[in-house]
């Protein structure tokens, strides 16, 4: 039986039969993979209590006789992110990011940039130096960027006037058209959000910088709320995913 060893972050797990689990892992070299962990529920001796969401593990897997089936043979804990798991709001943010990746990424397609982003975001969420909300804005902007889905926040999509040159303090983002409109060009209708010039500039700036630089940017509480509301509307709309964890996040926040 052939096999492999890799580092893996646990994205999702479902019960399979009385004793087994099917686990979705996100790996740096194999992308998203689904693995059967035999007897994981019945016996804690085999894997111990380490098969938890968001844990970073070193896993040894084998390929089964049936095409495409993979089995977990061994797992060793590298990071447990205990401060995420013991905080309901942090758990809700991490669940949202994990569900986004789990529903968006194709199986066995390497996405090392996205893996690095997820790991970085989990580490920062666990250590707590940056606010959870700011971190989620950062994660979503970079997620969109890596997947070629970034919204153009620089100018009105109709007349081309740059954001900083409009006399208006707020612009309209049309979700269906996927772009900004100045009030003169806005045609009305549903699926529209308004965003302040300041928020548009801050989102653009974060999108161009790494986390270390981006975390120095100060967001006023209303600006942060506006940014989060925009990202959490834009991301599900443009990925076409209904995310259950986002509902939960909104409830507990």
Report, in Å, the least distance between residue 157 CB and Zn ion: 8
Report, in Å, the least distance between residue 36 CB and Zn ion: 54
Indicate the residue among 3 and 189 with the shorter CB distance to Zn ion. Answer: 189
Q: Looking at 47-55, 67-75, 176-184, 205-213, which segment touches Zn ion (CB under 5 A)?
A: 176-184
Indicate the residue among 23 and 156 with the shorter CB distance to Zn ion. Answer: 156
Indicate the residue among 74 and 158 with the shorter CB distance to Zn ion. Answer: 158
Across the beta sheet with 152-156, the strand order is 152-156, 179-181, 170-174, 192-196
CA angle (209, 214, 216) in 5-degree steps? 140
Q: Tokens representing 151?
A: 């919204």
Report, in Å, the least distance between residue 202 CB and Zn ion: 21
Q: Is residue 158 near Zn ion by the rule CB under 5 A?
A: yes
Q: Is residue 185 near Zn ion by the rule CB under 5 A?
A: yes
Beta strands 179-181 and 152-156 are parallel
Indicate the residue among 22 and 193 with the shorter CB distance to Zn ion. Answer: 193
Task: Write the DSSP string, 22-71.
Answer: EEEEEETTTEEEEEEETTTTT-HHHHGGG--TT-EEEEEEEE-SSTT-EE
Report, in Å, the least distance between residue 193 CB and Zn ion: 16
Report, in Å, the least distance between residue 171 CB and Zn ion: 9
Q: Is residue 214 near Zn ion by the rule CB under 5 A?
A: no
d(Cα 84, Cα 91) in Å, to the nearest integer? 5
Q: Looking at 9-17, 47-55, 98-106, 183-191, which segment touches Zn ion (CB under 5 A)?
A: 183-191
Residue 220 three-state SS: coil
Q: Looking at 45-53, 153-161, 230-238, 245-253, which segment touches Zn ion (CB under 5 A)?
A: 153-161
In our burial notation (b when 16+ CB lie closer than 10 A, e otherwise), range 80-114 reads bbeebbebeebbbbbbbbbbbbbbbbeeeeebeeb
Q: Is residue 156 near Zn ion by the rule CB under 5 A?
A: yes
Report, in Å, the least distance between residue 184 CB and Zn ion: 5
d(Cα 201, Cα 210) in Å, to the nearest integer? 16
Q: Tokens representing 35?
A: 């693995």
Among 159, 187, 189, 210, binds Zn ion (CB under 5 A): 159
Q: Is residue 182 near Zn ion by the rule CB under 5 A?
A: yes
How many residues interact with Zn ion (rule CB under 5 A)?
5
- Sign for the CA dihedral angle at 229, 237, 138, 162 comes to negative
Q: Is residue 176 near Zn ion by the rule CB under 5 A?
A: no
**C-alpha dihedral over 41, 44, 47, 51, to 10 degrees?**
60
Report, in Å, the least distance between residue 73 CB and Zn ion: 59
Q: Looking at 4-12, 48-56, 174-182, 217-225, which segment touches Zn ion (CB under 5 A)?
A: 174-182
Q: Which residues bind Zn ion (CB under 5 A)?
A: 156, 158-159, 182, 185
């Amino acid at each position: 039986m052939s096999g492999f060893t890799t580092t893996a972050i646990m994205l999702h797990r479902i019960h399979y039969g009385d004793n087994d689990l099917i686990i979705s892992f996100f790996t740096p070299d194999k992308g998203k993979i689904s693995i059967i962990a035999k007897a994981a529920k019945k016996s804690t001796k085999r894997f111990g209590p380490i098969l938890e969401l968001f844990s970073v593990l070193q896993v040894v897997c084998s390929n089964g006789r049936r095409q495409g089936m993979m089995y977990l043979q061994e797992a060793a804990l590298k990071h447990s992110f205990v401060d995420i798991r013991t905080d309901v709001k942090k758990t809700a943010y991490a669940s949202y990011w994990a569900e986004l990746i789990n529903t968006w990424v194709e199986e066995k397609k390497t996405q090392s940039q996205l893996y690095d982003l997820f790991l970085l975001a989990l580490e920062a969420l666990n250590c707590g130096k940056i606010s959870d909300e700011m971190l989620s804005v950062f994660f979503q902007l970079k997620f969109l960027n890596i997947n070629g889905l970034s919204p153009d926040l620089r100018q009105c999509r109709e007349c081309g006037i740059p954001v900083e040159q409009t006399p208006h303090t707020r612009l309209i983002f049309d979700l269906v058209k996927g772009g900004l409109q100045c009030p003169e060009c806005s045609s009305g209708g549903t699926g529209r959000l308004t965003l302040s010039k300041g928020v548009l500039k801050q989102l653009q700036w974060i999108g161009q910088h790494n986390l270390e630089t981006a975390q120095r940017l100060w967001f006023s509480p209303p600006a942060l709320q506006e940014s989060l509301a925009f990202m959490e509307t834009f991301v599900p709309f443009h990925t076409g995913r209904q995310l259950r964890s986002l509902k939960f996040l909104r409830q507990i926040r």
